[in-house]
Amino acid sequence: MTTPIRPDGPIAYPLGGGPSVSAGSAEGPSFGDLLKHAINDVSGLEADKQDMIGAFLRGEPVELHEVMAAAEEASISLQLLVETRNKLTEAYRSVMNMQS
CB 21 within 8 A of CB 29: yes
Break the chain into its structural domains and give their ranges. Answer: 31-97
pLDDT at position 1, please? Answer: 47
pLDDT at position 37, please? Answer: 94
Is the pTM for the entire model greater than 0.75?
Answer: no
- Arithmetic mean of pLDDT, 70-75: 96
pLDDT digits (tens, 9 = 90+) for 10-62: 555 555 555 555 544 567 899 889 999 999 999 999 999 999 999 999 999 99
CA–CA gap between residue 26 and residue 31 (Å, rounded): 15
